[in-house]
């Protein structure tokens, strides 16, 4: 019995250490991105569609940092370079595409002709994401001080799961996503003076 507890304790320690190391690697990658020319590459699109659809452009940029490292994630970069390469440009779970990593199903809520190929185009991806976020802003308009948290989590885990989490019915799985968003947003506002 004590061997099992010791093994479990070591597994937790190892796993926790792995999360710590992963977080440090992600922070370093974010710092590298911020210092590169790629950090502001898509700002004009975020600003254009943010203004058009009533979404704070820094919110979209912080989400794009979470979703695709602003298009630098290898499969996303591949899709940006070759939009017709649907297989080679899909997300790790095989469900989303583009710098905003939208699923075709979600994209079809805003364009019934949406395709993975279209999502691989940055302009299209950001435009549809801004429509989605505008919808989420309306959905959570009366959510009080946690409004932005629920919007950001909804982008990642879906509005249904986020509603359940907000009511305490489930533990949401987007907590790390929310933490990274906050860190990204702080990087944007600090580095860009917004």
Mean pLDDT value of segment 64-77: 96
What crossing angle do the helices spanning 57-68 and 175-192 adopt, rounded to 10°? 120
* Residue 129 reports pLDDT greater than 70: yes
Domain 37-192 has CATH 2.60.40.10: no
What's the pLDDT at 7?
41
* Residue 40 reports pLDDT greater than 50: yes
Say if CB 102 and CB 119 are below 8 A apart.
yes
What is the maximum alpha-carbon separation in the chain?
A: 62
* Residue 81 reports pLDDT greater than 80: yes
* Residue 13 reports pLDDT greater than 50: no
**Domain-wise residue ranges, the chain:** 1-35, 37-192
Model confidence band, residue 38 (pLDDT cutoffs 50, 70, 90): confident
* Residue 24 reports pLDDT greater than 70: no
* Residue 139 reports pLDDT greater than 50: yes
What six digits make up the tokens of 140?
Answer: 């959570």
pTM of the shown model: 0.84
What six digits make up the tokens of 14?
Answer: 């190892």
* Residue 30 reports pLDDT greater than 80: no
Question: For the chain, what is the mean pLDDT?
Answer: 87
* Residue 3 reports pLDDT greater than 60: no
Residue from 25, 31, 26 nearest 188 by CA: 31
At 97, phi and psi to the nearest 5? -145, 160
């Amino acid at each position: 019995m004590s061997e099992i507890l010791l093994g479990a304790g070591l597994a937790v320690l190892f796993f926790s250490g792995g999360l710590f190391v992963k977080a440090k690697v992600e922070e370093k990658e974010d710092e590298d991105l911020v210092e590169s020319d790629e950090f502001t590459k898509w700002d004009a699109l975020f600003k254009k569609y943010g203004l058009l659809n009533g979404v704070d452009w820094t919110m979209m940029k912080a989400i794009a940092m979470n979703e695709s490292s602003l298009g630098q994630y290898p499969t996303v970069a591949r899709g940006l370079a070759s939009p017709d390469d649907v297989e080679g440009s899909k997300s790790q779970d095989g469900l989303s595409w583009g710098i905003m990593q939208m699923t075709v199903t979600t994209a079809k809520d805003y364009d019934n002709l949406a395709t993975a190929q279209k999502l691989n185009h940055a302009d299209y991806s950001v435009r549809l994401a801004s429509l989605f976020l505008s919808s989420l802003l309306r959905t959570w308009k009366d959510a009080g001080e946690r409004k932005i948290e629920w919007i950001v989590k909804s982008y990642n885990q879906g509005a249904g799961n986020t509603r359940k989490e907000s009511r305490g019915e489930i533990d949401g799985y987007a907590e790390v996503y929310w933490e990274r968003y906050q860190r990204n947003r702080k990087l944007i506002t600090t580095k860009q003076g917004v």
